[in-house]
Structure 1
Amino acid sequence: MTRVLLTGGSGFIAAHVLDILLERGHSVVTTVRSEEKVQKIREAHPNVPTSKLDFRIVEDIAQEGAFDEAVKIDGLEAVIHTASPFHFNITDTKKDLLDPAIIGTTGVLKAIKKNAPSVKHVVITSSFAAILNPHKGLYPGHIYSEQDWNPITLEEAYLNSSNGYRASKTFAEKAAWEFIEKEKPNFTLSTINPPLVMGPIVHYLNSLDALNTSNQRTRNFLQGKCKEEIPDTGVYLWIDVRDVALAHVKAIEVPEAAGLRFFATAGKFSNKAICEIIRKHFPEYHSELPSVDVKGGDYPEGPIYGYDNARTAKVLGIEFRSLEDSIVDLVKSLKSVGA
């Protein structure tokens, strides 16, 4: 059993991380933004004692010193940092995206070094956004792996919100690795870099209006928003939320994970494929789905980039779920909150 601090425990990925940590016998303290979130999570785990599941409230992770008190936990051995700033509107790229991502990430590392000397390993949720090279488009012939870094510049970050998001993920992860190199703390670091994350929601924390971006495309199919045309897929790589959550947990359990990035992806998908899975398994939504001859949402005609997920499979022992299993379970979970 490991004593683990999980930041942002009510998030889409983190809620699954929490379940897996508890299932595997770990003792968890999780940060959330409000007492309301504490109550929701407690009510969902009524038989788990405080010794196994406890809470710290951190209202704003972008504040300097936000985690200084939260990490003061007796016997704390590992930290899984999934928390990311929450904003309704992006009006200022630096203030709303860059600063919170970088300060939130370096802030938790500083707090651990200063106040939690017993911590041996830290895992941070990064993103394919920190790997992808947006200048290359479909990048035919290229195989993306942990060796790749998004070359985005600070100037490019300010051009639009998409660039701002990718830059925030890239700069935050780079800042984490630089911290390890310069500060030489007692703990090691691993990062998990998923592309689009799909799969079932933890229903007591979610509504149809509060879905993560990746799952919104499935919700939109169910609500009849794509009848005339299936939207472009965008990024053609995905992973199931339960697989990426398990990757986070295995990264604190497997000593060989120390010091590594993990490009966690199950492979390629398309919006059209999602539509066809829903059509196959859920006849009750047929009237909301685009008809079979509606255009859009398929793979491009030419070749696109490949991927190398061997490190995640080999080092962490992850066996990736199929797109079909993931979407079927997602739709069932969306039905549970009124889809």
Structure 2
Amino acid sequence: MSIFVSGATGFIAQNIVKQLLQANYKVVGSVRTQEKGDALKNNIKDASLQAENFTYEIVADIGAEGAFDDALKAHPELEVFIHTASPVKFDVKDVKKELIEPAINGTTNALKAIQQYGKNIKRVVVTSSLAAVAGSRTVLKDGESVTEQNWNPVTEEEIKDPSDGYAVSKKLAEEAVWKFAKDKSTHFSVTTILPGLVTGPQAFPNFDRDGLNFSSETINKLLKLKPNDEVPKGAGLFVDVRDCARAHIVAFEKESAVNKRLFAVAGKFNSQEVLDIIRSSFDELDQISPKGNPEDAKKYAPRSDRYDQSVTRSVLGFEFIDLKKSVVDTVNQLLDD
């Protein structure tokens, strides 16, 4: 079976590619440049994976009209399309142009290409985000939970900062997926994956330590703290990247995942808790990392206890990697020069 992975050099996508090759699938990835494609191909070879089962197509701008057309025309054998390509950045000046439009247009371009040229594609899996489900302005009544049916209430008109902009971009892009599937009577079924903060190690040991993606930098910036530095505020729900990638694969392998929104969430985290794990697991870091306030490790947003993942867990059917293993594996890789 041949699988297409858009944005194949991304943090989540590289883990998806790696796991697909380990499972003997053939993979076609989209990359922005030949340099990026060759670097990924080399990493695959160095990992002793079947590099002959991986090819790439250059899609320089996913937001351009017809972006994926040529890639799909070149690969009529494709049966699954995993769409991970979407901007994740917060240092933006124009939220609409830099976040919202690329997310919506990139997703819509992929779906149009699949509908027209991907005649053998039966399953489409799209990376959305927990930010599309709920956010800081989600209000829950007593006894109410957030389920896979919730949508973040923030509208484009209510955006106050890039964080809002990111959440709205993911929501609007995912809404476009479900609308397209409904309106166009597609020959493929859709599943969306909704991860929390994605932690864990890079798929391959050869990576740019100075150019880490936003979620990986969350742990890396804690490693850079000096003994007297204040511990940054940060809390939420997390998933290890290896489980997030696995969820994308289960999403097309299992019939029960069809037309579902699936949470990819292992549990809660906050910065103090991550720092405590780092200090207790690495003697060399215990002496140079700030101690912070250990009591803060127990402080979470009340909403983080009110996510109902029963549907997702029954579909995915695997145990998630816990926070300690995710943090320790990440730090081991970052320290390994």
TM-score (norm: length of structure 2): 0.92
Is 1:5 aligned with 2:4?
yes
Aligned equivalents of 1:94 and 1:17: distance in 2? 29
Alignment correspondent of 2:27: 28
Aligned equivalents of 2:328 and 2:140: distance in 1? 28
Aligned equivalents of 1:268 and 1:103: distance in 2? 32
Alpha-carbon offset, residue 44 of structure 1: 1.7
SS at match of 1:184: coil
Q: CA RMSD in A?
A: 2.2
Alignment correspondent of 2:171: 170
Aligned equivalents of 2:43 and 2:33: distance in 1? 16
Aligned equivalents of 1:110 and 1:298: distance in 2? 46
Task: Answer yes or no: is the 8 Å Cα contact 2:69–2:113 preserved in 1.
Answer: yes
Alpha-carbon offset, residue 245 of structure 1: 0.3
Alignment correspondent of 1:310: 310
Cα separation, partners in 2 of 1:297 and 1:183, compared to 1, 3 Å: same
Letter in 1 for 2:101: D
Aligned equivalents of 1:300 and 1:3: distance in 2? 42
Alignment correspondent of 2:259: 259
Question: Unpaired runs of 5+ in structure 1?
Answer: none
Alpha-carbon offset, residue 32 of structure 1: 0.8
2:121 to 115, 119, 122: 119
Cα separation, partners in 2 of 1:301 and 1:254, compared to 1, 3 Å: closer
Aligned equivalents of 1:198 and 1:120: distance in 2? 30
Task: Answer yes or no: is the 8 Å Cα contact 2:200–2:327 preserved in 1.
Answer: yes
SS at match of 1:230: coil
Aligned equivalents of 1:92 and 1:168: distance in 2? 12
Alignment correspondent of 2:112: 110
Per-residue CA shift, 1:178-199, capped at 9, x if unaligned?
A: 0000001100000000111101
Aligned equivalents of 1:22 and 1:185: distance in 2? 28
Aligned equivalents of 2:191 and 2:259: distance in 1? 5
Task: Answer yes or no: is the 8 Å Cα contact 1:256–1:315 preserved in 2.
Answer: yes
Letter in 2 for 1:315: V
Alpha-carbon offset, residue 19 of structure 1: 0.6
Alpha-carbon offset, residue 312 of structure 1: 2.5
Task: Answer yes or no: is the 8 Å Cα contact 1:138–1:304 preserved in 2.
Answer: no
Alignment correspondent of 1:269: 269
Alpha-carbon offset, residue 151 of structure 1: 1.4
TM-score (norm: length of structure 1): 0.91
Task: Answer yes or no: is the 8 Å Cα contact 1:232–1:297 preserved in 2.
Answer: no
Alpha-carbon offset, residue 91 of structure 1: 1.7
Cα separation, partners in 2 of 1:154 and 1:259, compared to 1, 3 Å: same
Q: Once structures 1 and 2 are overlaid, which stretch shifts more, 80-89 or 10-19?
A: 80-89
Letter in 2 for 1:163: D
1:1-339 aligned at under 5 Å gives the runs 2-46=1-45, 51-72=52-73, 73-85=75-87, 89-136=91-138, 141-157=143-159, 159-204=160-205, 206-224=207-225, 227-234=228-235, 236-291=236-291, 293=293, 298-300=298-300, 305-336=305-336, 338=337
Aligned equivalents of 1:226 and 1:194: distance in 2? 32
SS at match of 2:264: coil
Aligned equivalents of 2:78 and 2:195: distance in 1? 26
Letter in 1 for 2:325: D
Identity between Structure 1 and Structure 2 (%): 39
Aligned equivalents of 1:71 and 1:232: distance in 2? 44
Aligned equivalents of 1:42 and 1:153: distance in 2? 40
Q: Once structures 1 and 2 are overlaid, which stretch shifts more, 257-266 or 81-90?
A: 81-90
Task: Answer yes or no: is the 8 Å Cα contact 1:233–1:297 preserved in 2.
Answer: no
Aligned equivalents of 2:321 and 2:126: distance in 1? 22
Task: Answer yes or no: is the 8 Å Cα contact 1:233–1:298 preserved in 2.
Answer: no
Aligned equivalents of 2:32 and 2:44: distance in 1? 18
Moved over 3 A (4+): 47-51, 85-89, 136-142, 292-298, 300-305
Cα separation, partners in 2 of 1:294 and 1:50, compared to 1, 3 Å: closer
Alpha-carbon offset, residue 50 of structure 1: 6.1
Task: Answer yes or no: is the 8 Å Cα contact 1:3–1:75 preserved in 2.
Answer: yes
Task: Answer yes or no: is the 8 Å Cα contact 2:227–2:290 preserved in 1.
Answer: yes
Per-residue CA shift, 1:44-92, capped at 9, x if unaligned?
A: 2225566511100111111111111112213110000001137785121
Cα separation, partners in 2 of 1:204 and 1:57, compared to 1, 3 Å: farther
SS at match of 1:143: coil
Per-residue CA shift, 1:284-309, capped at 9, x if unaligned?
A: 11233112547756514967542122
Aligned equivalents of 1:144 and 1:321: distance in 2? 22
Aligned equivalents of 2:176 and 2:227: distance in 1? 40
Letter in 2 for 1:112: I
Alpha-carbon offset, residue 145 of structure 1: 1.6
